[in-house]
Amino acid sequence: MLPTTEAPFPQFFDFSGDPLDEGSIYYGQPNANPVTAPMPVYWDAAGTQPAAQPIKTVAGYPVRFGTPANVFTDQVYSISVYDKKGRLVYTQPDSSQFNQQPLYANKTDAALGSALLGYKAPFANSVGRTVSEKLADYVSAADFGLAEANAGSQNNTAMANAIAYAIAQGGLTLHIPRGTYDFATSINITGADNLRITGDGIDATILRITTATGDFVVTGGDFYQTIDNLTLTSTVTRTAGAMFKANGFWSRGLFYRVKVEKHFDGINLFQFEHCTLMETNIVSPTGAGTALIVGNPAATNQGANLNLLTVFIRGNDETVAEGPAVGARGMLVYDIEAIYGINVDISAMLNEIMVVQPTFQTANCFFTSCYFDITVGGDNILFQGAGIKNRIQFSNCWIAGAGRFDAGAADMFGVRFADVGTYTSLAFDACEFIGTSGPGVGTFTPQSEVLFTGCTFNNCGLNTTLDTAVYASFAVAQTKYMQFTGCKFIPSTVTKDFLFTANARGNVITGCELLRGISYQGGAQFGAVSGNSDVTGDSVASAATLQVPVTASYLYVTGTTNVGGLFRTFKGHVIHFTAVTGFTWQNGGALALKGAANFTVAAGNVLTLVCRSDGTWQEVSRSA
């Protein structure tokens, strides 16, 4: 809207001091003769109704169709006024001397425009300021030229100028208004400590990168940066790079109510210290990358203290419940210390939901009420990497659907411990392993120091050649041990709850509800098995070497084959054997009978044996 030349109306007078009738008004270029150098003026503030010059006067007022009217222009002007005889009665070469309105409308000089207007907040003890000072409290990226209509390179320039200003100020809040803004290359916020980039909400403020590769928003070595209430996305299929990457230690950083989509990699915290992702969604990837990368492979700690609070990650379109998986992995954890995850929901990946893969060490990570669900051809949680996996705990987590998405794949584990690196103090408390194509837990490392307490194994092994809910296989003898306490096994297609191969050592199973029993190969040893509810049966067929249930205390022996020994179970294991038919217990080797003599039994005879620490069985008593 154009400002008026004077408000409410200018009034002019003749040489006698009377209001000027039948006068003529000319508006022209400043410091020029307005008669010979006129400028456009208008009857309306919108500038759509040109006013022909000269403009006539009645009673001293400019008139239009005989009615007083004002004249509009947004320029500084000159003015000359003549009486009806053509005599000059008034002139002014520069309207800025008496009319401030063009100065208020100035958009190029910071000392004009809003700097000329006063402001006082309407509350007690407020201090008066200019409107310009008040507006400076709030910095918008649009102040630097960011616009929806811009080409991507123009918006990159606008953001670069905004970030440079933020750095010069030592930090500020930079608002990006509602709209969709394209960018041709990375937005680099490195060096801008105490910077907050805020939008008007997820899917209200949308930033889009228009290239298939390269990182989108980049930072590193900065403190107290916040990104909130906006969406980071792309206009093309992404094939490399992250939508946000922290190179160098990103300290005290915060993502809050941010949506990351159409990515290859989503968020890459290459190096960080005490940062938070809160109410952040990483969804709808366009490339087979990783949604969240934490740390990087290195010989030292690359990050510490990451809080994941109500983070939602999907490897497919978040709006389509059964859309095809595109993302390769949900979360990849390298050499870091201390992740605290609460209500983290990761689902629908081509490969693993989460991979822990240190070169040096991953330590002190805790996940509570988290959801690791459904893959095509990967485990829910995979531990691998040559480094140390130390004190990593899961509480009340849902670990489900490995190898069960789309066509799926057999033998995908709820949790897999690969035979590489070292393991110390891993724990699963009140977690549910459910609906996996392979076992709920598979361990291949002799350093299996893992505690399972109050966990449920529900329909694990639905499409598998490993016919068990828990599978433990070791190339060499175990040096650290697993413990299962108070766990429950719910029916599935598998025929056993546990399967331990020959090198299993020292594992403890107590107070569990077993429906398929514990199977083990010769050479396996247990630390303790007690207090379990086992309904797998109370009889065993006689054989040269008996493989007895490790939960058994009383067994009936069927068949007539002579028995020369038993596979070891655990030290102190006592079993009472009642013969169903006649056969001979043969002294020697792994079986030590009283008097070092064989014991030929008839139906109903009872022999009580105890497993000794060396794995041999010794007679306690007999009833002939």
Secondary structure of 440-491 in HEC code, one letter for each residue: CEEECCCEEEEEEECCEEECCCCCCCCCCCEEECCCCCCCEEEEEECCEEEC
Residue, of 69 and 208, whose pLDDT is higher: 208
Percent helix / strand / coil, the chain, rounded to 5: 5, 40, 50
Quick one: average pLDDT of 134-157?
A: 90
Find, among 338, 357, 345, the residue nearest to 293 by Cα. 357
pLDDT computed for residue 115 by the predictor: 62
pLDDT computed for residue 313 by the predictor: 97
Q: Report yes or no: 396 and 368 within 8 Å, Cβ to Cβ.
A: yes
Residue, of 155 and 70, whose pLDDT is higher: 155
Residue, of 16 and 132, whose pLDDT is higher: 16
pLDDT computed for residue 6 by the predictor: 57
The winner for highest mean pLDDT among 100-109, 463-472, 567-576 is 567-576
Quick one: average pLDDT of 173-200?
A: 97
Please report, for residues 27, 47, 99, 102, 219, the alpha-carbon distance to residue 94 in angstroms, rounded to integers and kept in the order given. Answer: 11, 21, 9, 12, 51
pLDDT computed for residue 476 by the predictor: 96
Quick one: average pLDDT of 103-117?
A: 64
Residue, of 211 and 10, whose pLDDT is higher: 211
Find, among 215, 284, 213, the residue nearest to 246 by Cα. 215
SS (H, E, C) 207-247: EEECCCCCCCEEECCCECCEEEEEEEEECCCCCCCEEEEEC
pLDDT computed for residue 1 by the predictor: 38
Q: How confident is the model at residue 319 (pLDDT cuts 50, 70, 90)?
A: confident
Q: How far apart are CA 432 and CA 450, in angstroms?
A: 16
Q: What is the pLDDT of residues 199-253, one digit of tens each?
A: 999 999 999 999 999 999 999 889 999 999 999 999 999 999 999 999 999 999 9
- Sheet architecture: strand order including 617-623: 539-541, 554-558, 574-579, 606-611, 617-623, 591-592
Q: What is the pLDDT of residues 497-513, one digit of tens each?
A: 999 999 999 999 999 99
CB-neighbour burial class of residue 134 (10 A; exposed 0-12, middle 13-18, buried 19+): middle
Quick one: average pLDDT of 557-567?
A: 95
Q: Strands of 33-133 (E only): list them.
A: 55-58, 61-64, 67-68, 78-82, 88-92, 118-119, 129-130
pLDDT at 125 over 80: no
Q: Report yes or no: 23 and 83 within 8 Å, Cβ to Cβ.
A: yes
Q: Which of 108-112, 190-194, 485-489 has the lowest mean pLDDT?
A: 108-112
User: Cα-flanking dihedrals φ and ψ of residue 168, to 5°?
Assistant: -65, -30
10, two tokens: 């200018």
Share of the chain above pLDDT 90, in %: 78
pLDDT at 295 over 90: yes
pLDDT computed for residue 559 by the predictor: 95
pLDDT at 131 over 70: no
Q: Report yes or no: 460 and 414 within 8 Å, Cβ to Cβ.
A: yes
Q: How confident is the model at residue 106 (pLDDT cuts 50, 70, 90)?
A: low
Q: How confident is the model at residue 321 (pLDDT cuts 50, 70, 90)?
A: low
DSSP notation for 177-193: -SEEEEESS-EE-TT-T
Quick one: average pLDDT of 104-109?
A: 64
pLDDT computed for residue 135 by the predictor: 62
Q: How far apart are CA 447 and CA 441, in angstroms?
A: 15
pLDDT computed for residue 197 by the predictor: 98
557, two tokens: 């022996």
pLDDT computed for residue 8 by the predictor: 63
pLDDT at 16 over 90: no
Q: What is the pLDDT of residues 525-551, one digit of tens each?
A: 999 999 998 877 789 999 999 999 999
Find, among 29, 27, 39, the residue nearest to 81 by Cα. 27
Residue, of 429 and 102, whose pLDDT is higher: 429
* Averaged pLDDT of the chain: 92
pLDDT computed for residue 57 by the predictor: 92
pLDDT at 624 over 90: no
pLDDT at 288 over 60: yes
Q: How far apart are CA 229 and CA 277, in angstroms?
A: 12
Quick one: average pLDDT of 128-133?
A: 70
